[in-house]
Amino acid sequence: MNIRPRRNRKSAAIRDMISETNLGVENLIYPLFLIEGSGIKDEISSLPGNYRWSLDLLLAEIDSCIKLGIDKYVLFPVVSEDKKDKVASYSYAEDNFYLKAISEIKKHFPEVSLMSDVAMDPYSTDGHDGLVENGLILNDETLPILGKMAIAQAQAGIDIIGPSDMMDGRVAFIREALDSHNFQDVSIMSYSAKYASAFYGPFRDALDSAPKGGDKKTYQMNPANRKEALREAFLDIEEGADMLMVKPAVCYLDVISDLKSNCEVPITAYNVSGECAMIYAASANGWLDYEAAMSEMLLSIRRSGADGILTYFAKDFAALQNK
């Protein structure tokens, strides 16, 4: 045998030198859940190790994450039922605790990059990402609400807007709304290829945001489709998105790879709650080695072409790197 691939794997020194993929804390964005009040650290049962934090404790948590090197966060609000309505008006209300928290976090930690979620579902009594009328999810009527939400978040100091609702035309609408209010420097990371996935369950538990009727299949994508993701991606680029996201990540590595090779903007992927929950559950049962499995999952997402990864593993991965 002249050719023996194993020679290139014979020592850690050689393996490390020729590693095709590098994954570091700088690639990770850490999702955090915010709840109104103080002194609250409420564990999400389907996502162990993740909590609904009140702002006071969340600031301390971010401080400890910064010490581990995490400088990008995405923040989600847990909104009480009495603040929800059909038009998600609380999402841009003056006294909104989520908007106040954005300002506070940016004031305490100006160096971190803070990302938001722009969608109606956490604020909607229907639990849908768009306005619901006679069982239909309205598209164009939803856009002005998303615009108001984005402007309110920009005013609060958000760095990156994350439209996660999959309405048509929302990136252009939000870009125009931001620019007309002098927020040219606020970025848009669009959830371009967001699938109607079964893997969002623990997230919906965390926020109590599951749809009250029907499903999200008329706006989120069919898991069977790959080319359609490119169509959505090209549209979002044309509409002014700075970065694109694929969501979920692990079942959609082909889609991440397609977007990475066909688009000129950075690509991110959301390693969603259900994907992380599988590893938490298997590790808790002793069926998987937690650190090895989550590191391999993140590395695979990165290998498929993701520049950035939103993941609940961010803190544990960072701690592992700091060991």
Between CA 238 and CA 185 the distance in angstroms is 18
Q: Of 247, 260, 315, 323, which residue is the catalytic one?
A: 247
Q: Is 51 in the site for ligand PBG (CB under 6 A)?
A: no
- Strand spans (E) along 11-71: 28-35, 41-43, 51-53
Does 200 help bind ligand PBG (rule: CB under 6 A)? yes
Q: Does 119 bind ligand PBG (CB under 6 A)?
A: yes
Strands (E) located in the chain: 28-35, 41-43, 51-53, 72-78, 113-115, 131-133, 136-138, 160-161, 187-194, 243-247, 267-271, 308-311
Count the neighbouring beta carbons within 10 Å of the beta carbon of residue 271. 28
Q: Which is nearer to ligand PBG, 204 or 226 (CB)?
A: 204
Q: Report in angstroms how near the CB of residue 178 gets to ligand PBG at its nearest.
A: 19
Nearer to ligand PBG, 19 or 83 (CB): 83
121/239 with CB nearer ligand PBG: 121
Is 148 in the active site? no
Q: How far apart are CA 152 and CA 175, in angstroms?
A: 13
d(CA 128, CA 134): 13
Min CB(94)–ligand PBG separation in Å: 23
Residue ranges of the alpha helices (H) in 263-313?
273-284, 290-303
Instruction: Determine if 273 is a binding residue for ligand PBG (CB under 6 A).
Output: yes
Q: Is 1 exposed, middle or buried (0-12, 13-18, 19+ CB in 10 A)?
A: exposed
Among 98, 195, 203, 252, binds ligand PBG (CB under 6 A): 203
Residue nearest to ligand PBG (CB): 203
Nearest Cα residue to 75 out of 45, 48, 109: 109
- In order, the DSSP letters of 219-261 are TSBPTT-SHHHHHHHHHHHHHT-SEEEEESSGGGHHHHHHHHH
Query: Is residue 164 a contact residue for ligand PBG (CB under 6 A)?
Result: yes
| Options 41, 204, 260, 303; binder of ligand PBG; rule CB under 6 A | 204
CA–CA separation, 73 vs 157, rounded Å? 13
In the set 72, 194, 216, 315, the catalytic residue is: 194
Q: How many residues bind ligand PBG (CB under 6 A)?
A: 11
Interface with ligand PBG (CB under 6 A), residue from 241, 272, 294, 309: 272
Our CB check for ligand PBG shows the closer of 141 and 208 to be 208
Taking CB under 6 A as the binding criterion, the range among 151-159, 199-207, 292-300, 315-323 that sits at the site for ligand PBG is 199-207
Could you confirm whether 194 is annotated as catalytic?
yes
Q: Is 317 near ligand PBG (CB under 6 A)?
A: no
The verdict on 121 binding ligand PBG (CB under 6 A) reads: yes
CA 152 from chain center: how many Å? Answer: 19
Shortest reach from residue 141's CB to ligand PBG, in Å: 17
> Which tokens is 289 given?
């080695």
Instruction: Classify burial at 178, counting beta carbons within 10 Å of its beta carbon; exposed 0-12, middle 13-18, buried 19 or more.
Output: buried
Residue 126 binds to ligand PBG (criterion: CB under 6 A): no
Contacts with ligand PBG by CB under 6 A lie at 117, 119, 121, 129, 164-165, 200, 203-204, 272-273
Active site amino acids: 194, 247
